[in-house]
C-alpha cells in the first residue's frame, strides 16, 4: 500500500495555478525527493499533503485513507521557514511540539533525539541562544520526535554546514531503515541523487519528472561527456557537435547535439590540448534540472 497517493490534484490562488493536475504515488518506506525551481509548487504540494491547504480538485489519499485532520498526527512536517518559540527552552519546545502529535513517553524520546543529534548539553537553554544550525537540528527533532510514519521535510539541508548536513542525512536514512516514509524538497541535486529512491520534479505547477534516478537519466540517454583537459574551458571553444558546455572550472560537461559524435569530439580536443580524462556519462540531475527549468528550456512536458 502506498503511503501517499495524489490523483489529479489542482490548487489555484486567485488566477495563479500553483499545482495543476498532479498525480503522484509515494511507496511506503521510500525516500522521495521533491525538486523544482522556487515558486514551482513544491511547498504548496507539501502543504496540501499536510491538510494545511485544501486542493481545489483531485483526491489525496494518505495511509490508504482519504486525507483527514487526524492523518496529520501520523505525519511529521518541517516547513521551509523554521519556526520555534524563541523564549522557550529546547526541551520544553520539543516536548510541546511532540506532545501535540503523540505525547506518549515524549520526555524519553526527546532525550534520545537530543543525544542522537549532539544537543543534550543545550536541552535547558533557550532557543534564542542557539546557532542557526542548532536551531535547524532542534526543528528536525520537533518534526520526528513523535515517531511519525511519514516525514515531510521542506529543504532540510538549507543553511547547514557539511557536518550538520551529514548528521541530518544520517538521521533521515535511519528513519527510512525503521520503515518511515520520507519526502524532502531540496535544491541540492547531488543530495537528491545520492539519497532518494525516487525523484519528483515540479515546474510551473506541472509534474515534469517522476521516477528513480536511473529511470530519469535513461530518458535523457548518454548524451553527456565529462572532460578534463590541460587548457580547461579555453580548449573547448567552438567545437562542432556540442549543444552546451557547462564549465565547473576543473572539469567541463559537454552536452552533445543530436548529430554529435563523441569520438570526433575527442579527436578534435586532442588536436588542441592534452586530455587528462574523457568520460561518456548520463546527464546529472543538475543538468536535467537546468534543461527543464533553465533560461534555454523548451516547452514544459508533463511526466
Partner 1 sequence: MRKILRFALREYKAAVKTKGFIIGLLLAPLVMGGGLIAFLLLKDRVDTTDKRVAVVDRSGLVTRALVSAAEFRNANEILDKESGKKIRPAHFFEEVKPSTNDPKGQRLGLSDRVRSGELHGFIEIGPQVVHPGKDPEAFQISYYAKNAAMDDLRGWAAWAINNRLRQVRLADAGVKESDVKDLFFWVSVDGLGLVSLDESTGAIAEGKRASPLEAILIPIVIMMLMLLMIMMSVPGMLHSVMEEKTQRIAEVLLGSIKPFEFMAAKLVGGIAVSLTSSAVYFVGGIIALQVMGYEDYVPLHVLPWFFAYMLLAIIMFGAWSAALGSTCNEAKDAQSLSFPTILPALFPMFIYFPVVKEPLGSFATWMSLVPPFTPLLMVLRLCTPGGVPAWQPFAGLLGVLLFTLFFVWAAGRIFRVAILMQGTPPKLANIVRWAIRG
- Tell me which residues touch partner 1 (CB under 8 A): 47, 50, 52-53, 69, 72-73, 75-79, 81-88, 96-97, 99-101, 103, 139, 142
Position of cell 537528491? 192
Minimum distance, C-beta of residue 300 to partner 1, in the bound complex (Å): 26
Minimum distance, C-beta of residue 146 to partner 1, in the bound complex (Å): 9
Of the two residues 26 and 50, which places its CB atom closer to partner 1 in the complex?
50
Which residues, 6+ apart, have CB-to-CB distance to 51 below 8 Å?
67, 68, 69, 71, 72
Of the two residues 78 and 117, which places its CB atom closer to partner 1 in the complex?
78
Q: Tell me the C-alpha to C-alpha distance, in Å, between residue 169 and each of 31, 76, 137, 162, 219.
A: 11, 16, 11, 10, 28
Of the two residues 6 and 235, which places its CB atom closer to partner 1 in the complex?
6
Of the two residues 34 and 289, which places its CB atom closer to partner 1 in the complex?
34
Minimum distance, C-beta of residue 170 to partner 1, in the bound complex (Å): 23
Nearest to 115 by CA among 92, 88, 83, 145: 145
Of the two residues 44 and 252, which places its CB atom closer to partner 1 in the complex?
44
Of the two residues 71 and 164, which places its CB atom closer to partner 1 in the complex?
71
Asked if 275 and 225 count as a contact pair (C-beta separation under 8 A), the reply is no
* CA dihedral (198, 140, 48, 43) positive or negative: negative
Measured CA to CA, the distance from residue 78 to residue 180 in angstroms comes to: 15
Of the two residues 81 and 121, which places its CB atom closer to partner 1 in the complex?
81
Of the two residues 107 and 221, which places its CB atom closer to partner 1 in the complex?
107
Minimum distance, C-beta of residue 204 to partner 1, in the bound complex (Å): 20
The neighbour count for residue 202, using CB atoms within 10 Å, is: 27
The neighbour count for residue 66, using CB atoms within 10 Å, is: 9
Minimum distance, C-beta of residue 134 to partner 1, in the bound complex (Å): 17
Measured CA to CA, the distance from residue 200 to residue 278 in angstroms comes to: 30
* CA dihedral (235, 241, 242, 243) positive or negative: positive
Strands (DSSP E) contained in the chain are 4-13, 16-26, 31-35, 57-62, 65-66, 75-78, 150-154, 181-185, 198-203, 206-211, 224-229, 242-247, 252-256, 275-281
Minimum distance, C-beta of residue 128 to partner 1, in the bound complex (Å): 11
Minimum distance, C-beta of residue 212 to partner 1, in the bound complex (Å): 28
Minimum distance, C-beta of residue 230 to partner 1, in the bound complex (Å): 50
Amino acid at each position: 500500500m502506498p503511503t501517499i497517493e495524489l490523483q489529479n490534484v489542482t490548487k489555484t490562488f486567485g488566477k495563479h495555478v500553483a499545482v495543476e493536475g498532479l498525480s503522484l504515488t509515494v511507496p511506503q518506506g521510500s525516500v522521495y525527493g521533491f525538486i523544482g525551481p522556487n515558486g514551482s509548487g513544491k511547498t504548496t504540494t507539501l502543504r496540501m499533503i499536510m491538510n494545511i491547504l485544501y486542493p481545489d480538485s483531485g483526491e489525496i489519499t494518505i495511509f490508504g485513507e482519504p486525507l483527514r485532520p487526524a492523518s496529520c498526527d501520523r505525519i511529521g512536517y518541517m516547513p521551509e521557514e523554521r519556526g520555534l518559540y524563541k523564549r522557550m527552552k529546547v526541551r520544553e519546545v520539543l516536548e510541546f511540539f511532540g506532545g501535540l502529535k503523540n505525547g506518549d513517553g515524549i520526555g524519553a524520546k526527546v532525550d534520545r533525539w537530543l543525544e542522537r543529534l549532539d544537543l543534550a548539553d543545550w536541552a535547558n537553554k533557550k532557543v534564542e541562544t542557539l546557532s542557526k544550525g542548532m536551531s535547524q537540528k532542534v526543528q528536525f527533532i520537533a518534526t520526528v520526535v513523535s515517531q511519525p510514519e511519514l516525514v515531510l521535510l521542506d529543504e532540510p539541508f538549507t543553511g547547514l554546514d557539511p557536518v550538520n548536513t551529514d548528521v541530518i542525512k544520517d538521521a533521515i536514512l535511519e528513519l527510512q531503515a525503521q520503515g518511515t516514509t520520507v519526502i524532502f524538497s531540496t535544491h541540492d541535486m547531488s543530495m537528491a541523487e545520492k539519497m532518494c529512491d525516487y525523484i519528483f520534479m515540479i515546474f510551473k505547477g506541472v509534474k515534469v519528472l517522476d521516477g528513480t534516478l536511473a529511470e530519469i537519466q535513461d530518458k535523457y540517454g548518454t548524451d553527456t561527456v565529462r572532460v578534463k583537459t590541460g587548457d580547461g574551458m579555453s580548449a573547448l571553444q567552438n567545437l562542432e557537435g556540442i549543444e552546451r558546455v557547462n564549465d565547473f572550472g576543473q572539469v567541463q560537461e559537454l552536452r552533445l547535439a543530436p548529430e554529435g559524435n563523441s569520438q570526433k569530439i575527442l579527436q578534435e580536443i586532442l588536436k588542441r590540448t592534452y586530455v587528462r580524462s574523457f568520460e561518456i556519462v548520463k546527464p546529472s540531475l543538475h543538468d536535467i534540472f537546468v534543461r527543464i527549468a533553465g533560461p534555454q528550456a523548451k516547452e514544459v512536458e508533463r511526466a
